[in-house]
Structure 1
Amino acid sequence: MQLSLLQPITDRPGPWASVYADVSHTTEDAAKQRELSANDMASRLTALGADRATRDAVHEALADGPGRGEPGARAGRALFATDGEVVLDAPLPGPPAAPFATWSPVARVAPLVEATGGRSPCLVAFVDRTGADFILRDDTGGDQPAGGVEGETWPVHRTATADWSERHFQTRVENTWERNAGEIARAAQEAYENSGAAVLLLAGDPRERRSVYDKLPKPLRSVTYESEHGGRAAGADSVRLERDIAQVRAVHERERTAEVMGRFHAGEGPRTDGGGTPYAASGVPALVEAAREHRIDTLLIAPHAADANREVWVGPRADQVASRSSEVPYLGEVRPASGRADDALLRAAAASGAETVVVRDPEDAPAGGLGAILRWNH
């Protein structure tokens, strides 16, 4: 998971109001329920010591925000606010098990990452012989249009006769299909790179999608799948396509996690290049040191990690993090604040352009539930 979503949070010093709310639209009085939820979260923030402007900004966002989804839909939202402004309002895949609010020096982002970090964004290409439409499927709520491409529209239909001139015409038709497949492949590559997707799914005309697949660059083919369901035409088989999208995202995430954990466990052991320091780290002190030095390439986090709530000390900047309060003044902050290890490490990782992987198998997770693959050793 790329942590660019958290970038607005890393640029602000806080303190932060972090709210995880249930915004399910399951009753006819949804607007009234939103108001009650907004009042509840505002009261919690007041009790925690949040300033009035920030509390009111959260209340307004929850009370007046859109009721996401159709009636009957269950949904959640994560809001992060500071200095009287909601800086990030992110949809959740579902309502939180227990809605809550916090007021802390570092935004409470770990539950958001854990809720959304195990689901790879998927670019879906609906292909036919004249072009393609692209959508991005992720956990931000609904499908996001991701562009499209139109190829040549004539000739695209073959005839059924065997006359020489007709065979010549059919060759022209197939050449049009091939040229259009090349255009679709180039457009799909561009849409994939611009969308932040982790996987590409081709749906639609069987012959054309196979031709498109063959024309994709090899690295993109390695994360591209095909679906026999769905297409550009209205009324295409969307139910089974939904299943295929979910399956592709899950398969890719499992493979990605296995690959990353293989690198992590290999990096923990003795170096094979003559160096003495491993390219992987676990344990809060080692991770904090790596975060300060911008050495984290991939942060590993297990849900309910034992080390997640370990106390660390932070300053307003993302790289001002230490295991002991006495260390922070050396980083330029004379009045450090106490924070959670998982949130502080995620803030630092996001600020340095790192990514994160949520490790859901406890047996494969790093000791303590937190670890990292490093960009370089000392």
Structure 2
Amino acid sequence: MKPDETIASETLRRLCSEGPVTSVYFNLTAPPGEEDAALRWERLARRLRAQGADGAVVEALGRLVARAEPGSGTLAAFASDGDPEPVGVEMADARQPDLAVRGPLPRLLPMLAWLQERPPYVLTLVDRKGADIETCRGGTRTATTRTIDGPDDEIVRNAPGGWSQSRHQHRAEDSWEHNATRVAHALADDLAETGAHVLLVGGDVRAVQYLTKHLPEGVRHEVSVGHVSGGRNRDGARRRRQTQVRDHVTRWADDETRGLLERLDEARGPSGLAVEGAAATLRALARGRVGTLLVADDPADRRTAWFGPAPTQVSDRRATFAESGGGPVEHGRLVDVAVRAAVLTGAEVRVLEPGAPDLPAQGIGALCRYA
């Protein structure tokens, strides 16, 4: 996914550029029998102070934790030393264990994994007059809704019998089609503006047929179109529709991951457009070749790598920097070093489940822009 839903890409670049960074994941629903949220935070705060975290940063993060809405999910928060405004994202339904760590790089992978399961989508409920369109830009952003009514208002096909019956029917059908055409153009604009690749449609069967017919060819080829229950009127289908939207969006995100892994497999070989393994992936990042980084988020992964001030200064060997004679060098978790390089060079990041089938070698790989 492009890591700019909910949390701006500029903010991610700043966090990856201005270490040290304090990263916190705080479970907003404490399991039964655990200490309450205030005591849990105090324990994490002591841990951060012991790691050398700035006192003002710890206090600012504490205020963010205190303001978070209790319930299902996890708060992800990040703060650079000396920054009075930490970045916070409430990850609904996430079951991330408490984590508080200060280091040269932020721990972004759990949040990026959660965000990629919540991509942008557009939902429309149509009838013969027009449509209600709900646009969700991904992550935690609130969906927005607008109404599109077509230019034609002759929508009733019931006319007196006789020679004029056919004419009334055709005029009504033409009106439905004109209205659906206007909705289709509005949807194409919303999909392009949000970058969404998921379109969900529900409502009057005939209106849906006309809408599908008039979607631009590019939309039909590039967007996953699914169908949901209910229509524009209150019909008791809202809860079922919400489940259908969530299921379809999740399937699309999973399909995207499978598609990237298939591309990685196909691109192995002489073309050189796929790399895998820690050393090869870091070399590709160091050359600015990576278009999409694929990396497993394994909390038990303790491998380290080295990085310098420039986005492409990354290596699995410190000696690489000694040979090049360039700038101050730091080390961090290998996966965090790789994510930093990807964010700062404009590459996409796809987070993989550890232990999933078809993982790249050593849990890390990349699809490259060029050989």
* Interval containing the TM-score (normalised by the shorter chain): 0.7 to 0.9
Q: Would you say 1:279 and 2:277 are equivalent positions? A: no
Shift of 1:367: 0.7
2:22 paired residue number = 17
Q: Would you say 1:52 and 2:37 are equivalent positions? A: no
Query: What stretches of structure 2 of length at least 5 have no aligned partner?
Result: none
SS of 1:2's equivalent?
A: coil
Q: Would you say 1:322 and 2:322 are equivalent positions? A: no
Whole-angstrom CA distance in 2 between matches of 1:330 and 1:144:
51
1:76 paired residue number = 74
1:107 paired residue number = 106
Q: TM-score, normalising length from structure 2?
A: 0.86
Whole-angstrom CA distance in 1 between matches of 2:146 and 2:242:
20
Whole-angstrom CA distance in 2 between matches of 1:17 and 1:323:
23
Structure 2 CA distance for partners of 1:351 and 1:235, relative to 1, 3 Å: farther
Give the RMSD, CA atoms, in angstroms.
Answer: 2.9
Whole-angstrom CA distance in 1 between matches of 2:140 and 2:229:
22
Matching residue within 346, 352, 355 for 1:353: 346
Deviation track 1:313-343 (CA, whole Å, cap 9, x = no partner) reads 1234433322222334677853222111212
What letter matches 2:134 in structure 1?
A: I
C-alpha contact 2:124 2:134 (8 A) present in aligned 1 = yes
Shift of 1:102: 1.0
Whole-angstrom CA distance in 1 between matches of 2:257 and 2:243:
21
Deviation track 1:274-307 (CA, whole Å, cap 9, x = no partner) reads xxxx11111222211221222111111223288x
Query: What stretches of structure 1 of length at least 5 have no aligned partner?
Result: 272-277
Shift of 1:153: 5.5
Whole-angstrom CA distance in 2 between matches of 1:84 and 1:153:
56
1:296 paired residue number = 290
C-alpha contact 1:24 1:95 (8 A) present in aligned 2 = no
1:275 paired residue number = none
2:241 paired residue number = 241
Whole-angstrom CA distance in 2 between matches of 1:231 and 1:298:
38
Shift of 1:133: 2.6
1:265 paired residue number = 265
Q: 12-21 or 315-324, which moves further after superposition?
A: 315-324
Whole-angstrom CA distance in 1 between matches of 2:31 and 2:125:
32
Whole-angstrom CA distance in 2 between matches of 1:138 and 1:92:
15
SS of 2:190's equivalent?
A: helix
Q: TM-score, normalising length from structure 1?
A: 0.85
Matching residue within 318, 325, 328 for 1:335: 328
1:227 paired residue number = 227
Deviation track 1:111-169 (CA, whole Å, cap 9, x = no partner) reads 22233334543321222222223334576337511544232261222225324445433
C-alpha contact 2:73 2:91 (8 A) present in aligned 1 = yes
